[in-house]
Amino acid sequence: MTQLRVAIMADETGWHTRQLQAALRARGAVGRCVDLEDCDIDTAASWHGLAIPGFGKELPDAVLVRGIAGGSFEAVTKRLGILHALRELGVPVYNDARAIERSVDKSMTSLLLRAARIPTPPTWATESEARARRILMREGAAGHALVLKPLFGSQGKGLALVGEVNGAHHALPSLKGEYGHLAYLQRFVPPTQTPGYDWRVMVIGGKAVTAMRRVSQHWVHNVAQGARCEPTELTPELARLAQGAAAALDMDYAGVDLLPSHGPDPVLVVEVNGVAAWHGLQKVTGFNIARAIVGDLLDRKLASAERERRA
């Protein structure tokens, strides 16, 4: 059998891509890093019309999506289009573009979690500042603050606490600029202790495999915002909710963010990351995440694609 060639789609190379390449090598496969920005559509060059650097007229045997850079609406549409096309051409894409789209759009994530009956804080998305302010007033009257998030945000960037917070009123900021004229608002879940924390659970191939706590004084507990990673037990409750969330978005692998709460639901899912980083988590767990991702890609995803091709 010839060596399997996997395209690792990444906008930057470093620790994660090296981990994946080493895990692929250990399985006798080769991982080649490709930036989606450098992938073209060229309908004159080959039967499939894609130009993937390093693959000539061929297609990769599988694709692992590790990073997609932001860009203009047009550029991102093309990048996701390449991933959609690869799937349509029968190449297993891990995570598939549809799953990535669902998770990048936080409002779609909220809807799908709600539809799957996964506990998540009440959430609103509106283009109307007047309606956003009315939601703020109504929630404030019921004693709730709100979190305003950029719809496509990541790494805890641009999050703002609005409404009644510790007796002070925080007005809704302008929705121009980073909010893109859209108010994505979510009921604030107050910390259950000081310092507060949330959980990150890694789900691979439908199974929660490892978890950590992210602890910080600030209520935004992203590692990129300075939160400390701590090992924690993956309880059956965390595993069940994280697996449910990953399944609701049809993810091959996902980094699921969960919050503890003193409300009726003791654990709430706030985010499902379809292009999750795992450097912080790997530091506090003995479980090898890259090896598990590669194992699931080759043994489940690629194997089932091959079965389909033969059928």
Compare residues 59 and 113 and give the one whose CB is closer to Mg ion: 113
179 contact, one of Mg ion, ligand ADP, none, CB 5-8 Å limit per kind: none
Contact call for residue 61 and Mg ion (CB under 5 A): no
Q: Is the dihedral of CA 264, 237, 153, 113 positive or negative?
A: negative
Contact call for residue 271 and Mg ion (CB under 5 A): yes
Compare residues 164 and 257 and give the one whose CB is closer to Mg ion: 257
147 contact, one of ligand ADP, Mg ion, none, CB 5-8 Å limit per kind: ligand ADP
Asked whether the beta carbons of 271 and 109 are under 8 A apart, the reply is yes
Query: Please, what is the Cα angle at 218 between 209 and 220, to 5 degrees?
Result: 50
121 contact, one of Mg ion, ligand ADP, none, CB 5-8 Å limit per kind: ligand ADP
Binding part of the chain for Mg ion, among 69-77, 185-193, 202-210, 253-261 by CB under 5 A, reads 253-261
DSSP state of 179: G
Question: Bridge partners of 228?
Answer: 215
Residues that bind ligand ADP (CB under 6 A): 121, 147, 149, 153-157, 159, 186-189, 198, 219-222, 257, 259, 270-271
255 contact, one of ligand ADP, Mg ion, none, CB 5-8 Å limit per kind: none
Question: How far apart are alpha carbons 44 and 46 in whole angstroms?
Answer: 6
The least distance separating ligand ADP from the CB of residue 50, rounded to whole angstroms, comes to 30
Compare residues 31 and 244 and give the one whose CB is closer to ligand ADP: 244
The least distance separating ligand ADP from the CB of residue 296, rounded to whole angstroms, comes to 23
Task: Select from 257, 258, 272, 282 the one that contacts Mg ion (CB under 5 A).
Answer: 257
The least distance separating Mg ion from the CB of residue 27, rounded to whole angstroms, comes to 30
Binding part of the chain for Mg ion, among 62-70, 125-133, 263-271, 282-290 by CB under 5 A, reads 263-271
197 contact, one of Mg ion, ligand ADP, none, CB 5-8 Å limit per kind: none
Asked whether the beta carbons of 17 and 71 are under 8 A apart, the reply is no
59 contact, one of ligand ADP, Mg ion, none, CB 5-8 Å limit per kind: none
188 contact, one of Mg ion, ligand ADP, none, CB 5-8 Å limit per kind: ligand ADP
Nearest CA to 152 out of 31, 250, 234, 69 is that of 69
Compare residues 26 and 224 and give the one whose CB is closer to Mg ion: 224
DSSP string, 180-248: TT-EEEEE----SSSSEEEEEEEEETTEEEEEEEEEESSS---GGGTPEEEE----HHHHHHHHHHHHH
Whose tokens are 């029968």? That residue is: 90
Question: How far apart are alpha carbons 96 and 84 in whole angstroms?
Answer: 7
Question: How far apart are alpha carbons 133 and 154 in whole angstroms?
Answer: 24
Nearest CA to 132 out of 169, 185, 177 is that of 185
For Mg ion, the binding residues (CB under 5 A) are: 257, 271
